[in-house]
C-alpha cells in the first residue's frame, strides 16, 4: 500500500496542473462574471431615546436600531439577486433574500423572502422614509416579509403588483400543519404629467391562518423603536383576515404630502373584529431638493443633496409633520386606541448619511388605565451603502 501513495500523489498533482477542460473553463468564466457584478450593501442606524409619560415614568437609552449586511448583484442581464440580514438583535433575522427576473421592460418576476405589496409606507425603505419609524397604521396592518412569488408590472404612468406568499420566517412546520397563505394585490398610478407627481393607489390582501395555531395578535409602539408596547389586542382566534387600504401622495419640488388608511377584518369562530387606522404627513426641504417619485415601485424615493457637505454646500435639510391613528377596539377585543403627532428634522450632509431628531406625542386610550399621554424624543445617526 505504501508504494502506491507516491504514485497517487503524483497523479493528482499532474491532473491539478493540467489545462482545464473547456466545460470547466466556461464554468469558471461564468462564476467570475457573476462575482464581477457583486456589491456589498447594508445600513447602520444608531438611536438615542428620551421618553416620559404623564404618570411620571421616564425612559432613556440607546440602541443599534438596525444593522443590515448583505450583497447584491446580477447573474445576467435579466437576473438579479439580493441577500440581506439584520444583525442588530439577539438573533440574526432575514430581510430581503430575493431572485428577480426582468421578463420584459415592464414585467419583473420576484421570488424569495420579501414584503408583500401592501401600503405605500411599508414598501418605502426605512433609509428613505420621512420619519424614523413607520406610522402605527402601516406597522400594525402590513403583514411583514414572507416567502413567496410576486409579479411587478409598471408602465410609464401606472403599475400593478401581485403576489402569493406562505408563512413568515421563523415558523416551524411539521407533517400535521398547513402553513398560512396570503395573496396580495396593489395598483397605483401617477395622475400628473411632468415634474409633479400625484400618486393614488389601493392595496389589499387575503390571509388564511395555518390550521395548527390560528391565534392572532396585533400590537404597536408609539412610532419609536425602544418604546414599550402601547396598544395590544392580546391573542384571539381567527381563521382568515382581509385587508383593504387606500393611499395618495403629492410631490412637487421641495414639498411632499402623503395620506393612507385602511381596515382589516378577521373571521373567527367566536369573534370577528374589524380594526382600522390612517396616517397623513407633509414634508418640506428647506434646501430645495425633491423626493423623486418612482413609478416602478409606486413610492417616493431618496433625498439627494444638491450641494453636499464638503463640496461647497451644507447638504439637505428636511422637516416633516405627521398625524396617525390606530383603533384596535372592536367588540370583545379591547386592544386600545392610539393617536400620534410627530415632528421630524432630517439633515443629510451627503446622500447616504442622515442625522435626525424625531419628536412624538402619543395619546393612548386603553380600557384599563384609561388615557395616557407619552412624549418621546429620538435622535438617530444613520448610514447606508
Highest averaged pLDDT of the listed ranges 67-76, 170-179, 210-219? 67-76
The residue length of the chain stands at 385
Judge whether residue 161 has pLDDT over 70. yes
Judge whether residue 10 has pLDDT over 60. no
Judge whether residue 17 has pLDDT over 60. no
pLDDT at 214: 82
The burial of 380, by beta-carbon neighbours within 10 Å (0-12 exposed, 13-18 middle, 19 or more buried), is given as: buried
Cα–Cα distance for residue pair 147/165, rounded to 1 Å: 6
Average pLDDT over residues 164-188: 76
pLDDT per position as a tens digit, 304-360: 999 999 898 999 999 999 999 999 999 889 999 999 999 999 999 999 999 999 999
Domain-embedded: residue 236: yes
Average pLDDT over residues 209-236: 89
Domain that holds residue 315: 39-384
Cα–Cα distance for residue pair 114/144, rounded to 1 Å: 8
Average pLDDT over residues 34-55: 86
- Do residues 236 and 333 make contact, with C-beta atoms less than 8 angstroms apart? yes
Judge whether residue 268 has pLDDT over 50. yes
Q: What is the CATH number of the domain that holds 282?
A: 2.40.160.10
Domain-embedded: residue 17: no
Domain-embedded: residue 11: no
| Residues near 21 by beta carbon (within 8 Å), at least 6 away in sequence | none
Domain-embedded: residue 172: yes
Average pLDDT, the chain: 89
Cα–Cα distance for residue pair 143/331, rounded to 1 Å: 23
H helix runs in 291-354, sequence order:
none
pLDDT at 30: 56
pLDDT per position as a tens digit, 100-143: 999 999 999 999 999 999 999 999 999 999 999 999 999 999 99
Average pLDDT over residues 158-175: 77
Q: Say how many domains are in the chain.
A: 1
Cα–Cα distance for residue pair 367/345, rounded to 1 Å: 34
Domain-embedded: residue 275: yes
Nearest Cα neighbor of 296 from 199, 206, 193 is 199
Cα–Cα distance for residue pair 362/298, rounded to 1 Å: 29
Domain-embedded: residue 29: no
Domain-embedded: residue 27: no
Provide Rg for the chain, Cα atoms: 25
pLDDT at 338: 97
pLDDT at 226: 83
Return the H-helix or E-strand segment holding 28: helix 22-36
Q: What percent of the chain has pLDDT over 70?
A: 87
Judge whether residue 213 has pLDDT over 90. no
pTM for this prediction: 0.86
- Do residues 301 and 313 make contact, with C-beta atoms less than 8 angstroms apart? no
Question: Strand (E) positions, 231-292?
Answer: 231-232, 236-237, 240-252, 255-267, 274-285
Reduce the DSSP state of residue 139 to 3 states and report it: helix
Judge whether residue 204 has pLDDT over 90. yes
Domain-embedded: residue 21: no
Amino acid at each position: 500500500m505504501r508504494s502506491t501513495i507516491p504514485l497517487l500523489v503524483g497523479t493528482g498533482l499532474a491532473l491539478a496542473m493540467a489545462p482545464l477542460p473547456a466545460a470547466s473553463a466556461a464554468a469558471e468564466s461564468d462564476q467570475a462574471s457573476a462575482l464581477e457584478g457583486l456589491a456589498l450593501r447594508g445600513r447602520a442606524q444608531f438611536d438615542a431615546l428620551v421618553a416620559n409619560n404623564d404618570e411620571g415614568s421616564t425612559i432613556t437609552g440607546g440602541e443599534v436600531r438596525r444593522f443590515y449586511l448583505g450583497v447584491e448583484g446580477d447573474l445576467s442581464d435579466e437576473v438579479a439577486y439580493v441577500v440581506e440580514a439584520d444583525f442588530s438583535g439577539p438573533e440574526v433575522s432575514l430581510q430581503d433574500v430575493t431572485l428577480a427576473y426582468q421578463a420584459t421592460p415592464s414585467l419583473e418576476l420576484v421570488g424569495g423572502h420579501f414584503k408583500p405589496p401592501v401600503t405605500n409606507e411599508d414598501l418605502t425603505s426605512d433609509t428613505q422614509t420621512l420619519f424614523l419609524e413607520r406610522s402605527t397604521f402601516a406597522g400594525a396592518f402590513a403583514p411583514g416579509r414572507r416567502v413567496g412569488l410576486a409579479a411587478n408590472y409598471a408602465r410609464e404612468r401606472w403599475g400593478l403588483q401581485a403576489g402569493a406568499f406562505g408563512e413568515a420566517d421563523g415558523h416551524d412546520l411539521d407533517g400535521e400543519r398547513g402553513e398560512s397563505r396570503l395573496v396580495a394585490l396593489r395598483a397605483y398610478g401617477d395622475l400628473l404629467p411632468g415634474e409633479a407627481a400625484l400618486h393614488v393607489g389601493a392595496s389589499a390582501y387575503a390571509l388564511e391562518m395555518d390550521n395548527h395555531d390560528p391565534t392572532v395578535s396585533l400590537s404597536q409602539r408609539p412610532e419609536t423603536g425602544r418604546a414599550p408596547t402601547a396598544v395590544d389586542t392580546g391573542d384571539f382566534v381567527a381563521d382568515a383576515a382581509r385587508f383593504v387600504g387606500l393611499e395618495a401622495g403629492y410631490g412637487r419640488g421641495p414639498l411632499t404630502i402623503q395620506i393612507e388608511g385602511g381596515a382589516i377584518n378577521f373571521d373567527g369562530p367566536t369573534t370577528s373584529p374589524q380594526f382600522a387606522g390612517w396616517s397623513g404627513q407633509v414634508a418640506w426641504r428647506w434646501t430645495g431638493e425633491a423626493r423623486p417619485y418612482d413609478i416602478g415601485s409606486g413610492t417616493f424615493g431618496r433625498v439627494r443633496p444638491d450641494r453636499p457637505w464638503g463640496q461647497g454646500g451644507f447638504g439637505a435639510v428636511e422637516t416633516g409633520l405627521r398625524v396617525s391613528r390606530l383603533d384596535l377596539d372592536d367588540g370583545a377585543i379591547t386592544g386600545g386606541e392610539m393617536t400620534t403627532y410627530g415632528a421630524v428634522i432630517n439633515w443629510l450632509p451627503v446622500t447616504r448619511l442622515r442625522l435626525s431628531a424625531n419628536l412624538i406625542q402619543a395619546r393612548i386610550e386603553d380600557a384599563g388605565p384609561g388615557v395616557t399621554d407619552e412624549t418621546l424624543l429620538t435622535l438617530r445617526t444613520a448610514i447606508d451603502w
